[in-house]
Amino acid sequence: MSNYRIRQGDTLSALASRFKTSVSELARVNNISNPNLIYAGKTLRIPGHARNDSFQPTRGHGPRGGGHTGGTSGGGQVQGSHGTASPGQVTPAMRKLASAGRAAAMSIGGYNSQGLCATGVSKAIQNAFGFKVWGNGNQIDNNLPRDKFKQVNMSLEQALKIPGLVLTWEKTSSRLGSIYGHTAITTGDGRSSVSDFIERNTLGAGGRSGLKIFMPTM
């Protein structure tokens, strides 16, 4: 058993491949509940390696000390403490999606949920970008085209400060939510998100699990 200091750009799947182990084994040994979320700067225990193994990156393969190293997709891309997006890095596509999301929410439920969150998000994406994304709340994340959206790792609190991010949860506390999950688009005000309705306090909505966050890259 040895240790590896996680660097920005690493993914759990890429590290598993590099160290000839599996994502599930790394997650088990390190008590990682969500393999899609690991953090730069944290120490990862690597099974099956001697303590004197060198896990330093090859010279010339990216910056030392936390710069993005271009890890592969899957297993959760590592981001710094502020993720890959910040309020100062908001793109026109993100603002367009946030605006389309609010319009979709007002046209469906206003401030009252209609149980059609995926419909609202899909409508917003279609109105903003001209293509439709199918699926319910916990399927949309798999159906977002990866050439137009990328997954980012940050807290919900951070995400809510940035407009135009797509949020998906695997499960919520309601009966239907436990089956279909939930999805929404951030407005950037630090509190609310929109889907088939405007949810004024997304941080206060308890009982949700399996959060994933996606940013448009167009």
114 plus 167 within the same structural domain: yes
User: 37-69 pLDDT, tens per residue?
Assistant: 788 778 888 886 544 343 444 333 333 333 333
The pair of structure tokens assigned to 3 is 């240790």
Distance between CA atoms of 157 and 46, rounded to whole angstroms? 31
For 60, list phi and psi in degrees, rounded to 5: 95, 0
152 plus 110 within the same structural domain: yes
User: 195-216 pLDDT, tens per residue?
Assistant: 999 999 999 988 899 999 999 9
- Number of structural domains found in the chain: 2
Given 80, 95, 112, the domain boundary residue is 80
Distance between CA atoms of 46 and 201, rounded to whole angstroms? 40
pLDDT band at 106 (very low <50, low <70, confident <90, very high): very high
Supply the pLDDT for residue 21.
84
Which percentage of the chain shows pLDDT scores above 70? 81
Supply the pLDDT for residue 59.
35
126 plus 194 within the same structural domain: yes
130 plus 189 within the same structural domain: yes
The pair of structure tokens assigned to 163 is 């407009």
The pair of structure tokens assigned to 117 is 């969150």
User: 114-146 pLDDT, tens per residue?
Assistant: 999 999 999 999 999 999 999 988 889 889 998
101 plus 204 within the same structural domain: yes
Look up the domain containing 9 and give its range: 1-80
7 plus 67 within the same structural domain: yes
167 plus 124 within the same structural domain: yes
Task: CATH number of the domain at 76, please.
Answer: 3.10.350.10
2 plus 57 within the same structural domain: yes
pTM: 0.62
Residues 6 or more apart whose Cβ sits within 8 Å of residue 23: 12, 13, 16, 35, 75
User: 158-207 pLDDT, tens per residue?
Assistant: 999 999 999 999 998 888 888 889 999 999 999 999 999 999 999 998 88
Is residue 80 scored above 70 in pLDDT? no
Task: CATH number of the domain at 161, please.
Answer: 3.90.1720.10
- The SS3 of residue 75 is coil
The answer to whether the beta carbons of residues 163 and 186 sit under 8 Å apart is: yes
